[in-house]
Amino acid sequence: MSHLLQPTILLLRDGTDSMEGIGQIISNINAIEAVVEIVKSTLGPRGMDKMITTSKDTTISNDGATILKLLDIEHAAAKILVDIAKSQDNEVGDGTTTVTILAGELLKNAKGFIEDGMNPQIVIRGYKRALEYCLARLESLIIAVDSSPERRREMLLRCAETALNSKLLSSYKAFFAEIVVSAVEKLDSNLLDKDLIGIKEVTGGSINDSFLVSGVAFKKTFSYAGFEQQPKKFTNPKIIILKIELELKSEKENAEIRISNVDDFQSIVDAEWEIIYSKLQEIHKVGAQIVLSKLPIGDLATQWFADRGIFCAGRVSNEDINRVAKATGALLQTTVNNVSPSVLGTCGRFEERQIGAERYNLFEECPSTKSATIILRGGAEQFIKEAERSLNDAIMIVRRCFKTNTVVAGGGATEMELSKGLKKHAVGIAGKEQLVMNMFAKSLEVIPRIIADNAGLDSLDIINRLRSIHFNNDKDGTEDTLYVGVDIVHGTGNNKESFVWEPLLVKVNALKAATEAACTILSIDETVRNPKSEQEEQQRRIKKSIPNAGKRR
C-alpha cells in the first residue's frame, strides 16, 4: 500500500472534555459578563446592596470583594477575574467593583473583534498599549494638595468620605471619616500596620454611639470566681503579658506516677501548689498590676490576684495581645523566672467599662500609641458587619493616601479624561491596534455610565454632556473641566471642588488589574476538564455537605 492510514493517538484520558478556539474565548467572555451583571448595580454612591444566603449565614453587602467571595464561582475563567479583583482588595482595599466592571467591559467590547476573526494577540497588544498611555496621562491629572498638616489632614478626610460614599455608612461619612483618619494617625507613620487598628462590634445603641479608643480595647474574657473582687480601674499601671498557663492541672493529664503510700501522693499535690504559688509570687514581686495571658488563668490564680489588688485576664486573643504589647511597650514572657521590671508595659489609664450589653477592657493614653480601636455600635448584627467592611475599605484608602499623598478626581471624571486623551492618541496609531485602543477608550466610559444609572440619572445624557465638556476643554483651555464627572444631585459637576477624591494608587491599580484580567482571559483558547479531577471535586462537595460522610462508623 502506497498510503498507510495514520493511527489514532489518544492523548487525553477517555471522557476528558475539551473546548478550544474562538468558541472557548467567547464562552469565557460570556461568563465574565454574567459576573459583572451581578456586581455592577453596587457601584457608586447610590449603589444597591446584595443579599447572599448560604447554609450557614445571610450577608447583606455592596462591597465588591465580599460579594465575589461569597458567590463561590465555579467557572474557571470567572475565577481568574475574582482572584485579580481580590488582589486589588488586598493591595489597596478598595476598587474591586471598578476592576470587575472595567474588565468585563473590556472583554465585552473585544468580543466583536474576536467574532470578526481578529487574532486575540492583536487585542491584547492594543489593550496593553492603551494602558501605558493611561498610566502616563494620569500623572497630569493629579490634584495638587498643600503639604501643610492641616491641608493634608483635610485630604485624608475627603478620601475617607469618598470611600464611604458608596457604603452603608454614607449618611454618616463625615463622622466616620474623622474616626478613621484619627485611627490611622495613631499608627507608626513608617509602617502603618492595619492589624494594629481593631474594630470591635457591640450590638445595641445608635451608630452615632461609635467611638475611637486611643489604644486597645477588647471584650472581657472568660473569668472565674474572684474576678469581680479585682480592681477595674488603674492609673499608670504596670502591665505584664504572658504565655503561661496559671492553672492547677490534675496529675493524670500530664504524667503517670506510681506511688506506694498516701504521703507520696500528698507530696505530689503539694509540689503542684508550690509551683503555681511560686509563679504568682514572681509576678507580684516584679510589681505587675495587670496580668494578661494567652493561656487560661484559673480560679486559684484569679482569687490570689484579687486578694492583692491585681487585675488579670486569661485566654486573650493573639491579635489583642499583640496590639497591647505595641501600645504599652510590654514584652511577651514565656516564663516568670527572674523576670525583670524592664519587660513591663504601662498606659495612662486602664478601665473595665460597660459598653452596651458587654464589658470591655480599655487601655488608653499609652506612651507609644501605635494602636487604636474603633468601637462600632448599631442595632442589627448585619448592619454592624457591613459597617465594619465599609470602615475596612476606608482605613485602607487613608493608609494609601498617608503614604503617597497624591489624589485624582473621582466620580468618573478621571476615566472620561483618559478616554478623551486616548481617542486622540489613537489617531496616530497605524493598523488594527487603533481600533482596539479606541475600544479601550470607550470601555473607560462604563464607570461614569453605571454610576449615573445607579443614581437614577439618564446615563446617555450624562455621558454626552461629559464628552462635550472634556472634548471642549482643549478649545477653551479651562483646567477645571479636567475634573468634571458625575454628580448624583446635579448630573455633572466639578469633583475636584466637591472633594470627591480618590488616591492615585487606587486608580492605577484598578486600571492595571482590569487590563491584566482582560488580557489573561483573551489569551485562553482551550479548556481541558479532566474527568478524574471532576470526580474528586464531586466527592469533596459531598463530604462538605454531609458532616460525617466518609467516616468509618
Q: Which three cell numbers stand for residue 250?
A: 490534675
Output the pLDDT for position 15.
44
User: Looking at the domain 19-143+409-529, which fold is it?
Assistant: GROEL; domain 1 (1.10.560)
Given the residues 59, 66, 96, 98, the one annotated as active site: 96
Output 65 or 540, whichever has higher pLDDT: 65
Which residues are CB-contacts of 371 (< 8 A; sequence separation ≥ 6)? 186, 187, 196, 197, 198, 215, 216, 323, 324, 326, 327
CA distance 157 to 197: 17
On the question of pLDDT at 212 being above 60, the answer is yes
Q: Among 320, 393, 453, 487, which one carries the catalytic annotation? A: 393
Active site residue 96: yes
pLDDT in tens, 347-377: 999 999 999 888 999 999 888 767 889 999 9
Q: Decide if 320 is catalytic.
A: no
User: pTM here?
Assistant: 0.78
Q: How many CA atoms lie within 13 A of 526 on its CB side?
A: 6
Looking at residue 386, its pLDDT comes to 85
Boundaries of every domain in the chain: 19-143+409-529, 215-368
> Catalytic annotation on 89?
no
For 252, the 3-state DSSP assignment is helix
**How many CA atoms does the CB half-sphere of 485 hold within 13 Å?**
30
Contact 495, 448 (CB under 8 A): no
Question: pLDDT tens digit string along 472-495?
Answer: 876 655 667 788 999 888 888 988
Span 41-65, pLDDT tens digits:
999 888 888 888 877 788 888 888 8
Mean local confidence (pLDDT), 323-327:
89
pLDDT surpasses 60 at 549: no
Determine the average pLDDT of the residues in 234-243: 93
Asked if residues 309 and 326 have their Cβ atoms less than 8 Å apart, the reply is no
pLDDT at residue 58, as a whole number: 84
Which of residues 93 and 539 earns the better pLDDT score? 93
Question: What is the model's pLDDT at position 108?
Answer: 93
pLDDT digits (tens, 9 = 90+) for 20-46: 678 888 888 998 999 999 999 999 888
Answer whether residue 338 shows pLDDT above 60.
yes
pLDDT digits (tens, 9 = 90+) for 397-425: 888 887 777 889 989 999 999 999 999 99
Structural element, H or E, at residue 291: strand 290-293
Higher pLDDT, 11 or 510: 510
- Residue 277: how many other CB atoms lie within 10 Å: 13
With beta carbons less than 8 A apart as the criterion, state whether 311 and 260 touch. Answer: no
Enclosing H/E stretch for 50? strand 50-53
SS3 347: coil
pLDDT at 537: 59
User: How many other CB atoms are there within 10 angstroms of residue 137's CB atom?
Assistant: 16
The predicted-structure confidence for 256-288, as pLDDT tens digits, reads as follows 667 777 776 677 777 778 888 889 999 999 999
First to last CA, the chain: 65
Please identify which of the residues 97, 221, 346, 406 carries the catalytic annotation: 97
User: What kind and span of H or E run contains 391?
Assistant: helix 381-404
What whole-number distance in Å separates Cα of residue 237 and Cα of residue 309? 12
**So what's the pLDDT on residue 303?**
92
Residue of 42, 59, 63, 94 marked catalytic: 63
Across 370-388, b (16+ Cβ under 10 Å) vs e yields bbbbbbbbbeeebbbbbbb
User: Could you give phi then psi for residue 261, rounded to 5 degrees?
Assistant: -150, 170
- Which of 3.90.180.10, 3.50.7.10, 1.10.238.10, 3.40.50.2300 would CATH assign to domain 215-368? 3.50.7.10
User: How is residue 143 annotated by DSSP?
Assistant: B
CA distance 511 to 505: 10
Q: Using CA of residue 385, residue 386, residue 389, residue 395, what is the dihedral sign?
A: negative
Band of pLDDT at residue 451, cut at 50, 70 and 90: very high
> What stretch of H or E contains 201?
strand 197-203
Express each pLDDT in 382-400 by its tens digit: 888 888 888 888 888 888 8
Degrees to nearest 5, angle at CA 439 with 434 and 441: 95
b/e code 184-211 from CB counts within 10 Å (16+ = b): bebbeeeebeeebbbbbbbeeeebeebe
**Which residue do the cell numbers 482569687 mark?**
303
Q: How far is CA 174 from CA 161, 177, 211, 391, 393, in A?
A: 6, 5, 13, 12, 15
